Amino acid sequence: MAGWSVAVGVTLGAVAGALIAARWVASRSRAEGQALRERTAHAEAELARQERSSADQRHLQDVVLSSMEEGVLLMDDRGRRVFSNPALEQHLGFLPDVIDELRPLPFRDAVGRAIGSEEIQRAEAETSAPSKWLRASAISVGPDRSVLLVVRDVTEARRLEAVRRDFVANASHELKTPAASIRAAAETLRNGALEDPPAAQRFTEQLEREAMRLSRIVSDLLDLSRLEGGSDLAERVRLDAVAADEIERLEDRLAEAELTLELHADGVPSVAGSGRDLALLVRNLIDNAVRYTPAGGRVDVTVTSQDGKVVVRVADTGLGIPQRDLPRVFERFYRVDRARSRETGGTGLGLAIVKHVAENHGGEVTVTSELASGSTFEVRLPVGGKTRSAAP
């Protein structure tokens, strides 16, 4: 009996143990299942997050590449287009599907040279219709023979470079003439003209004239270069007062030129600007009117306000400017009549200075003219100055 009960006890114990074990196993596998489910859910969430972030990244890349001014073209190892952005088509005027279609030819050559090379290959070419200059850099990417081509429009940069080169050439030429004249006069004096009083007088006058011309050119060049950096708009400037001051400075010359000059001003508001630069603007306009108006003529300087702008108008009854020259008179060193400009002490820079000052103040300058009847220059400046006028 005891043996039976022991056996039963053992069996029950085993069953209970098995049950406990089974329950433990079940609860453990439940826990594991739960953990597994959690891990799976976590992995799925992570995957989704990565997908989202790589989709976000792709979107970001798309946004960046489509908003780039540079055209981008990626070609695979078989010379087929795998990616391009909108700027590329804009620059090239079409979209090449394969390298053989790539134009201009120097760009195709650059791509050819870049395949398998570690160096960036560059090329520059002019395209027609519309005419522009493009600069390309080709670089091999990755271990295969893929090539990335980046294309930039450098038309404006090249134009500015040409303007700068022309300006340096013109300025050097303008400075060379009086410098050569000074040298010649000094040599003549040294070689004997000093002993001949009338000749000495003539050559020393020439020295003085040419030295003054040099100093006027240098002074205008310095003004221009300063104005290129902008004007200081901190002052409140009354342009009627500026015009009155400038006219007073010119009184002797006006009498000498036998001209009538009148100022018409009706209490205009002040503008935010630079007194020094605005005086330069008014001086150059009146100075030109006086220099290009023959004796007996008249000059009218009017300062008024209109539609939130102060308007300075300088009208003369002088030589006038041919219509074909009107668009160019504001260019540096551009003169309609070179000889007359020189004779009257012109540098060819006065109107370029006027234009710079007007633009630095958020304004503009215009001209109307009729040959042999006269010219009218008009400058319009916003009363609030450049910054406020630029605000919406």
Cβ at position 278, least distance to ligand ADP in Å:
17
- Which residue reads 């030295």 in tokens? 211
> How far is residue 363's CA from residue 358's CA, in Å, rounded to a whole number?
5
Structure tokens at 354: 């006027």
Binding residues for ligand ADP, rule CB under 6 A, total 23
375 binds ligand ADP (CB under 6 A): yes
- Of the pair 151, 351, the CB lying nearest ligand ADP is at 351
- Of the pair 71, 320, the CB lying nearest ligand ADP is at 320
3-class DSSP state for residue 346?
Answer: coil
- Of the pair 96, 350, the CB lying nearest ligand ADP is at 350
349 binds ligand ADP (CB under 6 A): yes
Cβ at position 193, least distance to ligand ADP in Å:
30
17-25, 79-87, 101-109, 339-347 -> range binding ligand ADP (CB under 6 A)? 339-347
Residues 6+ apart with CB under 8 A from 309: 363, 380, 381, 382, 383
Say if residue 104 is preceded by a cis peptide, omega within 30 of 0. yes
- Of the pair 96, 318, the CB lying nearest ligand ADP is at 318
Cβ at position 58, least distance to ligand ADP in Å:
56
28-36, 100-108, 304-312, 345-353 -> range binding ligand ADP (CB under 6 A)? 345-353
288 binds ligand ADP (CB under 6 A): yes
Cβ at position 365, least distance to ligand ADP in Å:
11
Question: Which of 150, 171, 282, 289: binder of ligand ADP (CB under 6 A)?
Answer: 289
Query: Do the beta carbons of residue 380 and residue 304 sit within 8 Å?
Result: no
Residue type, 76: D
Residue type, 91: H
Q: How far apart are the first and last CA of the chain?
A: 108
Instruction: Spell 73-106 as b/e; 16+ CB within 10 A means b.
Output: bebbeebebeebbebbeebbeeebeebeebebee
3-class DSSP state for residue 162?
Answer: helix
Residues 6+ apart with CB under 8 A from 161: none
Q: What share of the chain is helix, strand, coil (3-state, %, to 5)?
A: 55, 20, 25
**Site mask, ligand ADP, residues 304-323, x = CB under 6 A?**
------------x-xxxx--
> How far is residue 259's CA from residue 294's CA, in Å, rounded to a whole number?
8
- Of the pair 203, 377, the CB lying nearest ligand ADP is at 377
- Of the pair 145, 335, the CB lying nearest ligand ADP is at 335
- Of the pair 239, 319, the CB lying nearest ligand ADP is at 319
Residues that bind ligand ADP (CB under 6 A): 284, 288-289, 292, 316, 318-321, 329, 334-337, 341, 346-352, 375
